[in-house]
Amino acid sequence: MVTEPVPDLKYWVAFNRIRRLGPIRLRQIEARFGDLSLAWKASQSDLTSVGLDKSTVREIVSSRPEIDPDSEMEALETAGIDVICLRSPEYPARLAEIYDPPPVLYIRGKLEPGDERSVAVVGTRASSGYGLEMATRLAGGLAANGVTVVSGLAVGIDAAAHRASLDAGGRTIAGVGSGLDQVYPAKHADLARKIAESGAVISEYPPGVRPHARNFPRGNRILSGLTLGTLVVEAGFRSGALLTVTHALEQNREVFAVPGSTLSERSKGTNWLIQQGAKLVLDVEDILEELNIAGLGAQLGLSAPTPDPGTVESELLNMLRTEPVHMDEITRRSGEPSSVVSATLTMLELGGLVRQAGSMLYVAVPGQRRDITTHTKEIS
């Protein structure tokens, strides 16, 4: 349900409907009038005194008769979309610190105080199998350690990061470049719904605004602005993920990058970032230690329970590391009947301790506790 803790919230929403008004201009108006309800009713000459250009003032004056603040709030409530403004107590504190924070945020789901402990995970849409695997491992590891994973709902690295966070039972936030009633890409509608159920989908654009190429670069500043740091998993030189890094640096945030093959176009951007001083990431611990939040998942009770030592579950779990292993090889090494191995792997997968990395291929889920014994059998 929509709440209105800020008395003039509906006028923030109404002004946000006027296209020529960006974050900086709207803040100019608020600084001049104090209460946006006064600005909404201001004369053309009073608006001009703010220092706005004539075309912007004309658009405000011509748009106001077509926008009803009360109707805007009612429509949001009907759609199940929450809204906060820059003066709302729930507005993310870290995002409010950037140069041009979005004046209004539309939300499906819920933002929580713990989301201040977050990392943006971004990368190319044209991701490789390697990139998707690393995004899954790292985002899953972050989520398992109580870190909120923030990304952009795009295909490729973004979607892999969101899904891994959900699979790990953690929180994830999707920042999108359209109204919340315009999910893009459309095939991610179900993913967006799942994210909203256990995290949040947010936008600075009101409902009805369709996805447009110009919206996404601006949205990158929100991904980096919300978070402690930005992790680039896989990106070429022309990837939009590098725009997120630019914003992160401007916002004095940490930058992390996953190295890739020097022969891959998809890794040229990430390898270059490392050359320029980005923190090289091989494992989720590299991020947790840099941000001084290692071990938080265990404190919050987010790690899955480890099977008791000596059990078949423990034996199979200890065989798995980071490289995918075929079930036939696991069966051979364990000496257990294939039916027992298959059933045990299924139970471990349901418990979130292992996952399939392809047909009959299994890997351990990063960030989960493991039983390390002297009888460990490791498949190299």
Looking at the fold, whether 248 and 371 belong to one and the same domain comes out as no
Q: Is residue 87 domain-resident?
A: no
DSSP state of 178: S
**How far apart, in Å, are the Cα atoms of 182 and each of 80, 151, 208, 223, 302?**
14, 17, 7, 19, 33
Question: Are 108 and 80 a contacting pair, CB within 8 Å?
Answer: yes
Looking at the fold, whether 312 and 286 belong to one and the same domain comes out as no
Q: Is residue 308 domain-resident?
A: yes
Query: What is the pTM assigned to this prediction?
Result: 0.77
Q: What is the pLDDT of residues 128-183, one digit of tens each?
A: 999 999 999 999 999 988 999 999 999 999 999 999 999 989 999 999 999 999 99
Looking at the fold, whether 348 and 326 belong to one and the same domain comes out as yes
Distance of CA 36 to the CA centre of its chain: 31
User: Beta strands of 205-330 (E only): which ranges?
Assistant: 229-232, 254-257, 279-280, 325-326
Looking at the fold, whether 68 and 215 belong to one and the same domain comes out as no
Q: What is the pLDDT of residues 225-260, one digit of tens each?
A: 999 999 999 998 888 888 899 999 999 999 999 999
Q: Is residue 100 domain-resident?
A: no
CATH number at residue 190: 3.40.50.450
Under DSSP, is residue 338 helix (H, G, I), strand (E, B) or coil?
A: helix
Cβ neighbours for 91, distance < 8 A, ≥ 6 positions apart:
84, 85, 105
Interhelix angle 241-250/215-226, rounded to 10 degrees, is 50
The length of the chain, given as a count of residues: 380
Looking at the fold, whether 273 and 330 belong to one and the same domain comes out as no
C-alpha triplet 78, 81, 85: angle, nearest 5°: 125
Tokens matching residue 305: 């329970």
Which band of pLDDT confidence, cut at 50, 70 and 90, is reported for residue 293? confident
DSSP 190-211: HHHHHHHHHSEEEESSPTTPPP
Tokens matching residue 364: 């351990």
Looking at the fold, whether 257 and 169 belong to one and the same domain comes out as yes
Looking at the fold, whether 246 and 118 belong to one and the same domain comes out as yes
Q: Per-residue pLDDT averaged across 326-343, rounded?
A: 85
Q: Is residue 267 domain-resident?
A: yes
Which band of pLDDT confidence, cut at 50, 70 and 90, is reported for residue 22? confident
Looking at the fold, whether 139 and 287 belong to one and the same domain comes out as yes
List the one residue out of 105, 107, 96 whose CA is nearest residue 1.
107
